[in-house]
């Protein structure tokens, strides 16, 4: 029997695909990775990394304004959009090169072209055929724009980092991570931002208190948040210098230099030959996988945003490591990894930030029954002199039966950095008694999590 060309063939050079390819090659497997676009996928090129860089840029604007309260006398600063874009592009290019070096250094065969599955063990890249013992589909997702009249005039998150010119008036449609972050970023950079969300709340899936609080704080910061509002039509510009005209379902009209749709993402599963090869997709177009990331064709696997598990970059990285352990064995001296989707922390880089880990209050009540809620809202020390009205919210959810802290949520400065540390504690099973026995670092916002003593409700 002819030996396959590769032990593992990875389709997609995003976070999960690159991690799986590298780790498998380091275990001695013969690995190929096919990618038609820039390495790093959405996260590196048009997602997490540029978004966080632009968030930093927006925070400088807030910092300049707040500095007067601390004695600094600064001339009104001037923001250079083109310089930010150029610096970001240079950094992303550097990261693309790092990814290529990591793959080549590990011995991965990098194929530049469109890959298509031709069978349980076959892949065609452009016009060249390869065979593989295992195939990994890690093709990620792409922005989804509904069929609204005038959709040809909108941009998505893939284009928002290179808008030209800078939009003085921006309409953002959506209420999830990307929409809220983009609204905060462009508001901080000086745009007049309207956020249009068809539902009654922002950040569906997050704790109710968090969603309500962050909407209020974004509004105080200058974002015009329109809830229960849909887009009926987007009218074209009458000339190059005239605005787009966005008509909402209630009849209100908004003039905009750009309209950003951030209404969700769909998996990249079309055009890869998956269904023809027998791979089952769900109603959303995602690859249906089992706990071992196997599709309905046992030699074809999927992970990351294209699969039916949780869509977060760190999750895709972890899934890649688990899959490699299962297919090729764990690294020397290590145990085989297992994937656990409980207590995965996440952050939303709105202004102020959101950080969360564990269960929402509603989820906890359904899962555990009796729970006790600890909640604290305050003005951070920094803002006692900054003249900012920004407030911080912290919330703990405790399972009454075990005293275990099963949910921890925060809206405030550096919430992501703070919650990352507490995520370790929740993953380890920390109880409220453990929190109470921990000495806080004073003065910090984070100390509030270990000094909340009185329940707000049970």
Mean pLDDT of 18-47: 97
Q: What confidence score (pLDDT) does residue 458 get?
A: 66
Please name the CATH architecture into which domain 151-263 falls: 3-Layer(bba) Sandwich (3.50)
For domain 346-450, which CATH number applies: 3.30.390.30, 3.80.30.20, 1.20.140.10, 3.40.190.10? 3.30.390.30
pLDDT at 418 over 90: yes
Percent over 70 (pLDDT), the chain: 99
Question: Could you count the other beta carbons within 10 Å of the beta carbon of residue 135?
Answer: 30
Mean pLDDT of 31-38: 97
Mean pLDDT of 388-404: 97
Residue 332 banded pLDDT, cuts 50, 70, 90: confident
Interval 149-162: pLDDT, tens:
999 999 999 999 99
**Ranges of CATH 3.30.390.30 domains, the chain:** 346-450
> To the nearest whole number, what is the mean pLDDT of the chain?
96
Q: What confidence score (pLDDT) does residue 127 get?
A: 93
pLDDT at 44 over 80: yes
**Ranges of CATH 3.50.50.60 domains, the chain:** 6-142+267-328, 151-263
Mean pLDDT of 319-348: 94
- Classify the phi-psi angles of 369: left when phi > 0, otherwise alpha if psi is within -120 to 50, otherwise beta: left
Strands (E), 87-220: 109-112, 115-119, 122-125, 128-137, 141-143, 169-173, 192-196
Mean pLDDT of 266-283: 97
Closest CA to 177 of 192, 197, 191: 197
Q: What are phi and psi of 383, to 5 degrees?
A: -90, 0
- CA-derived radius of gyration, the chain: 24
C-beta separation of 360 from 407 below 8 A? yes
Interval 132-147: pLDDT, tens:
999 999 999 999 999 9
Interval 419-443: pLDDT, tens:
999 999 999 999 999 999 999 999 9
C-beta separation of 273 from 255 below 8 A? no
Interval 339-379: pLDDT, tens:
999 999 999 999 999 999 999 999 999 999 999 999 999 99
Structural class in CATH, domain 6-142+267-328: alpha beta
Q: Spot the catalytic one: 301, 309, 383, 442.
A: 442
Report residue 16 as tokens: 């999960």
442 is catalytic: yes
Q: What confidence score (pLDDT) does residue 279 get?
A: 98
pLDDT at 46 over 60: yes
């Amino acid at each position: 029997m002819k030996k396959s060309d590769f032990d593992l063939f990875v389709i997609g050079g995003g976070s999960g695909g690159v991690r799986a390819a590298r780790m498998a090659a380091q275990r001695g497997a013969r690995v190929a990775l096919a990618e038609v676009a820039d390495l790093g996928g959405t996260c590196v090129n048009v997602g997490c990394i540029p978004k966080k860089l632009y968030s930093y840029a927006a925070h400088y604007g807030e910092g300049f304004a707040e500095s007067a309260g601390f004695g600094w006398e600064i001339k009104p600063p001037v923001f250079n959009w083109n310089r930010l874009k150029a610096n970001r592009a240079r950094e992303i290019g550097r990261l693309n090169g790092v990814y290529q070096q990591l793959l080549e250094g590990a011995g991965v065969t990098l194929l530049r072209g469109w890959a298509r599955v031709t069978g349980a063990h076959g892949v065609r890249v452009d016009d060249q055929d390869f065979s593989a013992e295992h195939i990994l589909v890690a093709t990620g997702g792409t922005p989804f724009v509904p069929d609204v009249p005038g959709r040809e005039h909108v941009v998505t998150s893939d284009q928002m980092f290179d808008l030209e010119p800078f939009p003085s008036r921006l309409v953002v449609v959506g209420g999830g991570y990307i929409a809220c972050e983009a609204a905060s970023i462009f508001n901080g950079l000086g745009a007049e931002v309207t956020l249009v969300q068809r539902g009654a709340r922002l950040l569906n899936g997050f704790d109710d208190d968090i969603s309500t609080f962050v909407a209020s704080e974004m509004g105080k910061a200058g974002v015009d948040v329109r809830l229960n509002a849909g887009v009926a039509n987007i009218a074209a510009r009458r000339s190059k210098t005239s605005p787009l005209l966005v008509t909402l379902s209630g009849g209100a009209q908004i003039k905009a230099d750009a309209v950003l749709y951030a209404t969700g993402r769909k998996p990249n599963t079309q055009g890869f030959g998956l269904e023809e090869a027998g791979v089952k997709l769900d109603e959303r177009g995602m690859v249906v996988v089992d706990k071992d990331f196997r599709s309905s064709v046992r030699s074809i696997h999927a992970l990351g945003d294209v699969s039916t598990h949780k869509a977060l970059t760190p999750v895709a990285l972890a899934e890649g490591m688990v899959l490699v352990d299962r297919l090729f064995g764990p690294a020397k001296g290590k145990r085989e990894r297992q994937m656990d989707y409980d207590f995965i922390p996440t952050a939303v880089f709105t202004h102020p930030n959101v950080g969360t880990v564990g269960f929402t209050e509603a989820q906890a009540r359904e899962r555990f029954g009796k729970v006790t809620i600890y909640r604290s809202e305050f003005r951070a020390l920094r803002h006692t002199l900054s003249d900012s009205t920004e407030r911080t919210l912290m919330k703990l959810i405790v399972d009454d039966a075990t005293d275990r802290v099963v949910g921890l949520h925060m809206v405030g400065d550096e919430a992501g950095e703070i919650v990352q540390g507490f995520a370790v504690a929740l993953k380890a099973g920390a109880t409220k008694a453990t929190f109470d026995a921990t000495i806080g670092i004073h003065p910090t916002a984070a100390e509030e999590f270990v000094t909340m003593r009185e329940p707000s409700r049970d």
